[in-house]
Amino acid sequence: MKTSLMQPRKRVKQATALTGLLLSSLVLVSCASAPGAPQGSEQVRGKLTTLQGDPNLAERARVEFREAEAAVRIAEQPLPEADADLGKHRVFMADQAVAIAEAKATTRYAEDQRLRLGEERDAERLRARTLEVSNARDDATEARDAADAAESSQEQAAAGAALKAEEYQRQIDALEAEITDRGVVLTLGDVLFATGSAELQGGANGNLNKLVSFLNQYPDRRVQIEGHTDNVGSASLNQGLSQRRADSVMSYLTQQGIAYQRLTSAGIGMDRPVANNDTANGRQQNRRVEIIVENPPRS
């Protein structure tokens, strides 16, 4: 009796164990065949994310990046283990799409950089050319201003020289002198001295004072004073008289402040007549003192 009761219980335990074993097998099979993201999809996603975060590339191939994004999303879709080859293919295609987007963006970035550098070079050339033209214009303006200044200076110098020449001639006319190769020659007649005398008479001061004023304006010029006589009397007497008269004029000039070193005197006597000694008028012209003021040195 007891044996017959034990057998049903044993069968129940066996059935329960078998049911548990079947359930465990089903769970294992279910876990083994659950879909998952294909291998390599994470790496492809990482590449794409890095490129999308690069400001130099992300905006230069928008179409290609959209296509790569779509390919990566497809590659990330979970697949059962039985579709592993399909997953590999999708990952490969996604990787290719990412590579194409990167290549396109990199090419366009390089092209943009080349264009930018070209524009910078063109701008630099333009700036250099503009500066060159500006400098040339400035140089031309300076040259023109210098030429105008030189012309104006020359005109002023010419005007000044003309005024000086005019004033010089006026002074010569006031002295009743003559411009010769020897210099300015002032001739003082025999009214300077009494007959046979070397002492200056009072009326001589007027002309001599004009000469003093003239010499003070031209302090660099030397003066030669020459005494001359007619042929009345001996040659030695006339030579001595002409020397004393030249010395008298020289002495007067030094008394008026003309430096002694500028003056020389000489008695010529009757050797250089300017008129015929056969007439009274001619002899009067020969009795004279000539004062020669040297010409200025030629530049």
For residue 251, what is the domain's CATH number? 3.30.1330.60
Task: Say whether both 103 and 214 belong to one domain.
Answer: no
Across the range 104-109, mean pLDDT stands at 93
pTM score, two decimals?
A: 0.50
**Residue-number span of the structural domain to which 56 is assigned:** 35-137
Examine the fold and report which residue of 112, 137, 162 is the final residue of a domain before the chain moves on: 137
Whole-angstrom Cα distance, residue 124 to residue 103?
Answer: 31
Q: What is the pLDDT of residues 208-245, one digit of tens each?
A: 899 999 999 999 999 999 999 999 999 999 999 999 99
112 and 185 share a domain?
A: no
Mean pLDDT of 90-109: 93
Q: State whether residue 8 is helix, strand or coil.
A: helix
Q: Is the pLDDT of residue 109 over 70?
A: yes
Q: Are residues 200 and 289 in the same domain?
A: yes
Whether residue 164 lies inside any domain: the answer is no
Please report whether residue 70 resides in a domain.
Answer: yes
> In this structure, what are the phi and psi dihedrals at residue 209, rounded to the nearest 5 degrees?
-70, -35
Decide if 262 is inside a domain: yes
HSE-CB for 216 with a 13 A CA cutoff: 10
Instruction: Measure the CA–CA gap between 299 and 164, rounded to whole angstroms.
Output: 16
β-strand pairing of 178-179 with 184-189: antiparallel
In a domain, 25, yes or no: no
Task: Please tell me whether residues 202 and 287 are part of one structural domain.
Answer: yes
Region 102-121: mean pLDDT is 92
103 occurs within a structural domain? yes
Q: Strand (E) positions, 154-297?
A: 178-179, 184-189, 223-228, 263-269, 288-293
Same domain, yes or no: 124 and 187: no
Report which of 227, 238, 234 is spatially closest to residue 192, judged by C-alpha positions. Answer: 227
> Based on the structure, what is the number of domains in the chain?
2
Q: What is the mean pLDDT of residues 276-289?
A: 92
Torsion of CA 269, 271, 273, 276, to 10 degrees: 110
